[in-house]
Amino acid sequence: MALAKITQVSGTAVHVPGSDIDTDRIIPARFMKCVTFDGLGEFAFYDVRFDKDGKPTGHPLDEPRFKGASILLSGSNFGCGSSREHAPQALYRFGFRAVIAQSFAEIFFGNCTTLGIPCVCASAEDIARLAAAVEADPTLSVTVDVAGRKVLFGSDGFSVTLPDTAHDALVSGKWDPIGELLEAKDAIHARMTALGFASAA
């Protein structure tokens, strides 16, 4: 089955303010002792969502009014720090399908793109305006228009940026290189056979 073409993502949003939110904050290292990424979502932002005794701190992600939000809003240099793939995997399994921030760490951005999570950049002023609208109405529908490079909410909206390579990969359904290889396995096998490299099996 072909990969989905990700031309837009719509849903409710939640604002997690701050700059330089690193991958250790997104998913603490002690939760990375796993064979698969399944179950990582419950540990996203764990050390700021819970105190040392495991009691909730009142983090936005745990506020009932933002339950089910699929679009994350944040500040500059989001996803900095180590290059752990577990960070975007935790966000994906928490339920996020797009991130809007002022800027992103390069490796984190790439890891998100290969999961089909668009990461788009907006100005601090535009993010603040959207965050205020979401705070006033958590049920507000927000659309990240990847193809058109804009964000729409209510009667408002603003332009966003993302590199052409990521834009083109997402909207054409070519955002997962491994998925593309698996999809093309018959063609690859035929080519390898023609070149005399295929195994007898």
- Which of 14-18, 52-56, 66-70 has the weakest average pLDDT? 52-56
Q: How many CB atoms lie within 10 A of CB 160?
A: 22
Helix count and strand count (H, E) for the chain: 8, 8
Interatomic CA distance for residues 73 and 57, integer angstroms: 19
Q: Please, what CATH class does the domain formed by 8-172 belong to? A: alpha beta
- The DSSP-derived string for 66-124 is GTT--EEE--SSBTBSS--THHHHHHHHHT--EEEES-B-HHHHHHHHTTT--EEE--H
pLDDT, tens digit, 9 for 90 and up, residues 55-81 = 999 999 999 999 999 999 999 999 999
Query: Which H/E stretch holds residue 186?
Result: helix 185-194
**How many Cα atoms sit within 13 Å of 176 on the Cβ side?**
17
Whether pTM exceeds 0.95 = no
User: Where do the domains of the chain lie?
Assistant: 8-172
DSSP 180: H
pLDDT digits 0-9 by tens, 98-124: 999 999 999 999 999 999 999 999 999
Q: What is the model's pLDDT at position 200?
A: 45
Mean pLDDT (whole number) for 155-180: 91
Do the bridges between strand 156-159 and strand 150-153 make them parallel or antiparallel, or are there none, so unpaired? antiparallel
